[in-house]
């Protein structure tokens, strides 16, 4: 049996997914769709940088969804967030899709979460969202020291690392660590001036986004204007403290069972090209994977987007239902 895989959006990240797909260990046909000739050319070049793999039975670089196979076992939607809901609608209307991996930010409008959720349920499509820290072996190790629903303080501080577009990764990480997806956020301590994001057409914020989980855990995410300091995470639980510098790959940890003695551990941050092959293989062979399910991720995204959107409208004196982050 040869599986059909479609990658929709072959930009910076999509081309890394493609490199990851080339490492798969089951027979697949891969189709890449992107309207940009430049993106397809870079994706092709990056695909060719990875060693040949006999499991890849075919690879095609296409300009439209219409050219895809009628039946697709797995689809990765790695466009930017502004068109993700429409692309999903088009894909499902035109092709028979079994499973989808969505990129974060899922959608910019709150109503798109239910809109796409309904499409997925009606068409019995299983879907996940690519917040990959939960598949990093070192975060899985950290989770072993935390009990489900444990009350944690999750503090992230750093320079201007792209809080609005990337903060969801850390909200997802906390949700993973203590198995709680119920968040509320307070965006009132974000800085008043929004800035252009590194990604053209999208905005960013500095300042502080605060949140609470239903179990009383606190999450504080900070990006400091004018600084390029690396972000550092501190997680304090009932019986453990972790200080994590993802940039240098270092963890300092202390556990109550070891009398709070400090130890150093390594954090191996995995690139997308090291992750996608295994994740896709798991979905195709077992029908599941350890990424956040769509429904859980939607539950995490909705209060996050709502809160930042409220701040965006207030600070810019706007009335819009679209939060331009990706």
Ligand X SMILES: NC(=O)c1ccc[n+]([C@@H]2O[C@H](COP(=O)([O-])OP(=O)(O)OC[C@H]3O[C@@H](n4cnc5c(N)ncnc54)[C@H](O)[C@@H]3O)[C@@H](O)[C@H]2O)c1
Residues lying near ligand X in the complex (CB under 6 A) = 8-14, 33-36, 39, 78-81, 83, 87, 103-105, 130, 132, 165, 326
Q: The tokens 């072996």 sit on which residue? A: 137
Tell me the pairing of strands 250-255 and 262-266: antiparallel
CA dist., res. 111 & res. 276, Å (int) = 29
Nearer to ligand X, 171 or 253 (CB): 171
Find the farthest-apart pair of alpha carbons in the chain and give their distance in angstroms, rounded. Answer: 62
CA dist., res. 209 & res. 83, Å (int) = 26
Helix boundaries (H) for the chain: 12-21, 37-49, 84-94, 110-122, 137-143, 163-178, 272-286, 294-315
Provide the minimum distance between the beta carbon of 304 and ligand X in the complex, in angstroms, as a whole number.
13
Provide the minimum distance between the beta carbon of 245 and ligand X in the complex, in angstroms, as a whole number.
18
Nearer to ligand X, 39 or 206 (CB): 39
Q: Which residue is nearest to ligand X (CB)?
A: 11
Nearer to ligand X, 83 or 255 (CB): 83
Tell me the pairing of strands 96-102 and 126-129: parallel
Nearer to ligand X, 11 or 237 (CB): 11
Provide the minimum distance between the beta carbon of 167 and ligand X in the complex, in angstroms, as a whole number.
11
Query: Partners of 242 in the beta sheet?
Result: 235, 253
CA dist., res. 303 & res. 324, Å (int) = 16
Provide the minimum distance between the beta carbon of 164 and ligand X in the complex, in angstroms, as a whole number.
10
Provide the minimum distance between the beta carbon of 114 and ligand X in the complex, in angstroms, as a whole number.
20
Nearer to ligand X, 35 or 287 (CB): 35
């Amino acid at each position: 049996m040869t599986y059909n895989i479609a990658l929709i959006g072959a930009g910076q990240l999509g081309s890394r997914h493609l490199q990851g797909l080339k490492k798969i260990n089951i027979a697949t046909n891969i189709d890449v769709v992107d309207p940009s000739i430049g993106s397809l050319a870079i994706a092709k070049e990056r695909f060719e940088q990875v060693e040949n793999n006999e499991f890849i039975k075919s690879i095609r670089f296409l300009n439209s969804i219409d050219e895809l196979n009628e039946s697709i076992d797995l689809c990765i939607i790695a466009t930017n967030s502004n068109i993700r809901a429409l692309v999903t609608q088009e894909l499902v209307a035109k092709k028979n899709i079994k499973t989808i991996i969505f990129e974060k930010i899922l959608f910019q409008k709150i109503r798109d979460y239910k809109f796409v959720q309904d499409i997925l349920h009606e068409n019995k499509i299983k879907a996940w969202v690519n917040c990959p820290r939960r598949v990093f072996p070192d975060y899985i190790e950290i989770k072993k020291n935390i009990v489900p629903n444990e009350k944690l303080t999750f503090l992230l501080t750093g320079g201007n690392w792209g809080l609005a577009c990337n903060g969801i990764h850390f909200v997802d990480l906390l949700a993973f660590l203590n198995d709680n997806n119920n968040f509320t956020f307070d965006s009132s301590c974000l800085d008043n001036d929004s800035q252009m994001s590194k990604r053209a057409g999208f905005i960013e914020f500095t300042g502080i986004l605060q949140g609470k989980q239903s179990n009383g855990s606190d999450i504080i995410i900070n990006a400091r204007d004018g600084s390029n300091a690396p972000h550092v995470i501190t997680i304090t639980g009932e019986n453990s403290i972790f200080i994590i510098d993802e940039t240098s790959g270092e963890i300092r940890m202390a556990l109550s069972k070891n009398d709070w003695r400090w130890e150093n551990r390594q954090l191996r941050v995995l690139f997308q090209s090291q992750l996608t092959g295994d994740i896709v293989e798991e979905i195709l062979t077992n029908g599941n994977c350890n990424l956040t399910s769509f429904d859980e991720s939607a539950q995490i995204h909705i209060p996050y987007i709502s809160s930042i959107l409220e701040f965006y409208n207030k600070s810019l004196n706007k009335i819009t239902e679209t939060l331009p982050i990706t």
